[in-house]
Amino acid sequence: MAEFDVHPNALSPNDGIAFGPFLLLPAQRELLKGGESVAIGSRALDVLIALVERHGETVDKRDLIDRIWPRTVVEECNLKTHVAALRKALQDDGHEHRYVVNVPGRGYCFVAAIDYIGRAPSSALPTNELLPALRIPSRLRRLIGRENAIETISSKLLDGRIVTIVGPGGIGKTTVAVAVAHKRRAEASGLVSFVDLAPLTGAALVPSALATALGSGVRSDNPIPSLVEWLAGKHMLIVLDSCEHLIDAVASMAAVLLEGVPDLQILATSREPIKVAGEVLHRLPPLSTPTVSDALTASSAMGYASIELFVERTSERLSAFQLSDPVAPIAADICRRLDGNPLAIELAAGRVDAFGVQGVSSLLTDRFALLTGGRRDAPARQQTLMVTLDWSYDLLPEVERIVFRRLGIFAGYFDMEAAVRVAANDSISSAEMLGILANLVDKSLVFADINSGITRYRLLDTTVAYARKRLLDLGEIEKVARQHATWYLQLLQRTEEADQKPLDDIQRGVQGNVADNVRAALDWAFTAGGDLNLSIQLSIASVPLWLKLSLMNECRIRIYRAIEAMAAANSVDEWIEMQLRTALGVALYSIGPGPEARAVWTRVLQIAERLDNTDYRLRALWGLWVDTVTGDNHETGLTLAKQFAQLAAKAHDSLAWFVGDRLVGTSLYFLGEQGEARTHFERMLSRPPTASHKTQILRFQFDQLVAGRAFFSRILWVQGYPDQAFREAQASVEEALAHQHSLSLCYALGQSACAIALLVGDFETAQRNIQLLLEHSARHELRLWQSMGRCFSGILHIKVGRKKEGIELLSQAINELRNAGFALYHTAALCEFGAALGSIGELHAAQRAVDEALEQSSRNDERWCLPELLRTKGELLLAQFGTSAAPAAEDFFQRSLQLALRQGACAWQLRTASSLAKLHRDEPVHASHALLARTVEWFTEGFETPDLIEARALMDR
C-alpha cells in the first residue's frame, strides 16, 4: 500500500500551529487550549496533523488511511470514527466553531485560519522584528476552482515584478491574491505584506497605508522616497488589494517603488489594469459551469467549480443538503445565470435555506433583491450584489456610465458597429466610442471575445441586469430599446439587399448574437410601450434569419404574433399581409401539411395575382405544390408543378426555372414515371442556379442543388444504379453540411441519404445519417424530419436483427406521420412495417399495414413504390396461407413485375424476380429462373447490395 506523500508544507520539529483557541505542537504530539492539554486520541491527532499540513486542501480519504495506518488494510468507517473524535475534541459544531469539513465523495479539509509559531526564518528574510507587522488575511474557507489560477499567478511572479489580477466585482480577486500570498510565505521565498486599499477615500492615503502595513515608521508628507529607502535590500512581495478607485495613485507609487527597489514585487487586484511598465495581467475567469444538458447528474455536476461552490456553501447553512440528480440541472442553471461569479453564487447559496434551490432559481429574475445578506465579516462592497456593482459603476466617468447602461440593452454578443449605433449619443463620436468601449473592457464591465479571429463584446448576465435596472430607474429604457430595435431592423434589411455573405457572417457570429438581439427587439416592439409598425417590419425582415438558422418553429410563432397584432390594430396592407403569410406558409412545413397551410398559400396566391407580383405567385404555387405532394395527391401536384414551370419560363426567372424542373421531376417520380422524371432532374442539374444559397432558401426553403441531387439519387436507385445513387445522396449531404444549413441537411438526409444507405446495406453510414437527421431536427424543432428520422431508425434496428425494438420505433413514427398528414414517406414506411411484422409472425397486423399502404397509394396516385407494395402483399399471403395462396401470390408478383417493367424500376423488378424464383424454386425448369438470371445480368453495379447478393444466392441454389 502506498505511503502518504510528504507534502511541501510538511511541519518541521520547530513548528507550532495556532488556530482559534488551540495550539498544535506536532513534534511534542500535543494539542493545547489556553495552555492546557486537550484530551485527544493518538489516531485523531494524526488526522489533525495530516489535515493541517495541507491546510485549505481536500485530503483524499484513502491518502489519510494510508498515512495513519500504513501497510494495513483498514475500512473507511475507522477513519470516520477518528474524524468524529477529532471534531469532538475541537468542539467543532460546523457553524460558529468550524475546523474540519467533509467534502462528499472525496475526503476532508481543514478550513480554519492558521498561524505558524516559531518557524525558523530563512537566511533571505530580514530580521524577526519585522514579522509582527507583516500580516496576511487568513484563508477563512476552502478555495474552490482556483488552483490553476494560483499556480499561474505564482509562476507569473517568478518572471515578472508586477502582476495584476483583473476581473469584475465578486469574481474572487482578493481571495486568490490572499492564497498566492500564503503560498509565497509558506515557500519562505521572502516577506509578504498585504494592503487593503478599499477603505481609503483619497489618493494621498495610499503611500501611508502601505507604510502602516509594513510597520516602517515612515511619517512624511511624501512618504514614497522614504518607503524606497526603507525597502532597499529587502526581498518582499507587496499585495495591493482593491486598487480600482485609486488607480492613478497606485500606478504612481508602484512605478517609483519598482524602479527604486530591485528585489520588490507587487501583486495587485483591480477591476482594471494599473498600466505601469512591466505589468503582467491575469484576468480571473468565472468558475466553470456546465452547458445546458439533459444528461447532467449530481455526480457529473460536481466536476464544475461553480456547482461545487454552490453545494458547499449551501451545506454550510443546511448540513443535510445533498445535490441530487433532479436538482443538479437547476443548480447548474443558477450558476450559469450568475455567470460563474463566486460572490453571486455564495449569496444565492445563502438563500437556499429560505426558498429551496428551485425557489432561488425562480427568484433570480429579481436577483438584486434576492442576493443580499453576505457574510458579516466580508467587506461592505461584497455584502450584496447590488453594492458590488454600485462600487464599479460609481467609479466610472459620466460618459462611460451612459454607454455602459445603454449596452445593457443588448442580448448576448454585439459588435462595435452595433455599440456605436445603439449606445452612443449626439455628443459621442464613433472614435470616442472606441476608447469608451476599451475602457469598459479594461474595467471588467464588458467582456471582449477575440478568440475566434473576430472581436465581439458582451456584458455578463448579472451586469446586463444591473445596467438595465439603471436604464429603468433613469427612465431611458424605452428610448434605448427603440434604438436597439431600429438598428437590428436596418441590419437585417441591409443583409436582405446584399448577397449571401452578410447572412453567413451573422450565422458565424461576426456581428454578435444577431438572433438573440432580434428576439429581444421583437419582444420589446410588441409590448404596450413598443412600436407596432416597427414590430411588423422587424418580423418580416427577420424571416431570412430564421430560415438561414433553420428555426422554422420560431419563425412560425413570430409571424403568428405579427398577423395577430395587425388584426388587433385593424391594419390593412395587402403587401405586408402577403409577405407575412408567405413566411407563415414556409414555416408551417415544419409541422406538416394540412388545411391551414393550404389556406395560407391560397390567400398568398390571391393577393399576388391582385398585385400582379410574379415572385409571390411563384412562391404560392410552390407552397401549394409542397402541401399537395406531401399530404394529398400527386396528379394534382404535377398540375401545380407544371403551372409553376410555365410561369417561371414566362418570367425568365432562372432560379424558378431550375426549381420548376425539380418540382415536375419529383411529381413524375411519385407517379412512377421514372424515365421522364430523370430527364427533368438531369436537365436541372446540368445548369445549376446562379442565385446565391441565401436567395434559394429565402424563396424556396432549401438549397435547390442539395435538394435536386438528393432526389435524383432516389431515381437512380429505383432505376437500378445503387452505387451512383449512394454517391449522389452522400454528396448532397456533404454539400448541405458545407452550407451549414440544417433544413437543407434534413432534406438531403430525410429524402435520400438515410433511405439509400439502408437500401444498399451500408448500415454504418445509415447509422451516421440517421443520427445527423435526429440531432438537427431536434435542435431546430423540425417535427416532421424527427418522425422520419425515427422511421429510419426503426428500419435500421429491424435490418440488423433488433426486430422488436425496431418495430416499436417504426410504429410510433408511422403514427406521428399519419397524425401530421404527411403521406410522402408514410406509404413506404407502412410497407416496411408490414414486412417486418410478417417476419415475426404477426401476419394479420402485417396484412393490415400493407393494405393501408395500398389504399393510400391508390388514393394519392402514389405509384413509385406500388411494385414493392404488390410484391410484399404476395409474400405475406404465402407466409399466412402457405402453398394454397400460391396462385394469388403469383398474381400479385406478376402485377408487380409488369408495373416495374413499365416504370423502368429495375430495383423493384429485381426484388419481384427473386420472389417469383423463390415461389418456383422446387420446379427444375421455370420461366422465373430465366427472368431472375436476365435481371441480375442487366445490373452493372451494386453487386454487394443485399438485393443482388440474395438474387445470386437464389441462382446458385
String of DSSP letters for 591-627: T--SHHHHHHHHHHHHHHHHHT-HHHHHHHHHHHHHH
pLDDT for 447 equals 85
pLDDT for 220 equals 56
- Give the architecture-level CATH label for domain 551-690: Alpha Horseshoe (1.25)
- Binning pLDDT at 50, 70 and 90, where does residue 384 land? low
Residue in 697, 714, 682 with CA at minimum distance from that of residue 864: 714
Query: Is residue 8 scored above 80 in pLDDT?
Result: no
Q: What percent of the chain has pLDDT over 90?
A: 45
- Binning pLDDT at 50, 70 and 90, where does residue 130 land? very low
**Sequence-separated (6 or more) residues with CB below 8 Å from residue 902:** 672
pLDDT for 263 equals 87
Average pLDDT, the chain: 85
Residue in 884, 885, 810 with CA at minimum distance from that of residue 840: 810
For CA atoms 753, 755, 757, 762, give the dihedral sign: positive
Q: How far apart are alpha carbons 181 and 187 in whole angstroms?
A: 10
**C-alpha cell of residue 16:** 507550532
pLDDT for 753 equals 96
Using CB atoms within 10 A of its CB, is residue 758 exposed (0-12), middle (13-18) or buried (19+)?
buried
Q: How far apart are alpha carbons 852 and 846 in whole angstroms?
A: 10
Q: How far apart are alpha carbons 620 and 604 in whole angstroms?
A: 6
When pLDDT is averaged across residues 160-166 and rounded to a whole number, the result is: 93
CA separation (Å) from 944 to 402, 425, 763, 952?
Answer: 70, 70, 13, 10
Query: Is residue 133 scored above 70 in pLDDT?
Result: no
**Length of the chain counted residue by residue:** 957
pLDDT digits (tens, 9 = 90+) for 312-328: 888 888 888 889 999 99
Q: How far apart are alpha carbons 540 and 547 in whole angstroms?
A: 12
For domain 16-117, give the CATH number.
1.10.10.10
Domain ranges of the chain: 16-117, 128-283, 298-377, 551-690, 702-776
- The CA-CA-CA angle for residues 101, 14, 195, to 5°, reads 65
Strand, helix or coil at 823? coil
- Binning pLDDT at 50, 70 and 90, where does residue 366 land? low
Query: Is residue 569 scored above 80 in pLDDT?
Result: yes
Query: Is residue 128 scored above 50 in pLDDT?
Result: no
* Window from 160-174, 192-206, 626-640, 762-776 with minimum mean pLDDT: 192-206
- The CA-CA-CA angle for residues 833, 836, 840, to 5°, reads 140
Most confident of 202-211, 389-398, 645-654: 645-654
Residue in 715, 726, 769 with CA at minimum distance from that of residue 944: 726
Query: Is residue 296 scored above 80 in pLDDT?
Result: yes
The answer to whether the predicted template modeling score (pTM) of the entire model surpasses 0.85 is: no
When pLDDT is averaged across residues 23-46 and rounded to a whole number, the result is: 84
Query: Is residue 521 scored above 80 in pLDDT?
Result: yes
- Binning pLDDT at 50, 70 and 90, where does residue 427 land? confident
- Binning pLDDT at 50, 70 and 90, where does residue 638 land? very high
Query: Is residue 125 scored above 80 in pLDDT?
Result: no
When pLDDT is averaged across residues 528-536 and rounded to a whole number, the result is: 89
443-449 contact pairs (CB < 8 A, 24+): 443/244, 443/271, 443/272, 443/392, 443/395, 443/396, 444/166, 444/167, 444/168, 444/169, 444/171, 444/271, 444/272, 444/283, 444/392, 445/168, 445/271, 445/392, 445/396, 445/404, 446/404, 446/407, 449/413
pLDDT digits (tens, 9 = 90+) for 890-905: 999 999 999 999 999 9
Query: Is residue 836 scored above 90 in pLDDT?
Result: yes
pLDDT for 619 equals 93
pLDDT for 506 equals 55
pLDDT for 66 equals 83
How far does CA 567 lie from the centroid of its chain?
37
* Window from 453-457, 543-547, 736-740 with minimum mean pLDDT: 453-457
Query: Is residue 431 scored above 60 in pLDDT?
Result: yes
How far does CA 127 lie from the centroid of its chain?
57
When pLDDT is averaged across residues 918-923 and rounded to a whole number, the result is: 87
When pLDDT is averaged across residues 645-669 and rounded to a whole number, the result is: 92
What's the DSSP call for residue 414?
B
pLDDT for 367 equals 61
pLDDT for 226 equals 84
Using CB atoms within 10 A of its CB, is residue 69 exposed (0-12), middle (13-18) or buried (19+)?
middle
pLDDT for 951 equals 94
Q: What percent of the chain has pLDDT over 70?
A: 89
Query: Is residue 800 scored above 90 in pLDDT?
Result: yes
Query: Is residue 436 scored above 70 in pLDDT?
Result: yes
Q: Indicate the class that CATH gives domain 128-283.
A: alpha beta
Residue in 840, 788, 848 with CA at minimum distance from that of residue 814: 788
Query: Is residue 21 scored above 90 in pLDDT?
Result: no
pLDDT for 234 equals 83
What's the DSSP call for residue 942?
-
Q: How far apart are alpha carbons 575 and 197 in whole angstroms?
A: 65
Yes or no: say if 385 and 347 are a contact pair by the CB < 8 Å rule.
yes
pLDDT for 131 equals 39
When pLDDT is averaged across residues 766-783 and rounded to a whole number, the result is: 91
When pLDDT is averaged across residues 831-849 and rounded to a whole number, the result is: 94
Query: Is residue 118 scored above 50 in pLDDT?
Result: yes
Strand, helix or coil at 701? coil
Query: Is residue 250 scored above 90 in pLDDT?
Result: yes
Residue with cell 393577393: 607
Query: Is residue 424 scored above 90 in pLDDT?
Result: no
Q: How far apart are alpha carbons 391 and 395 in whole angstroms?
A: 7
pLDDT for 7 equals 46
**C-alpha cell of residue 350:** 445563502
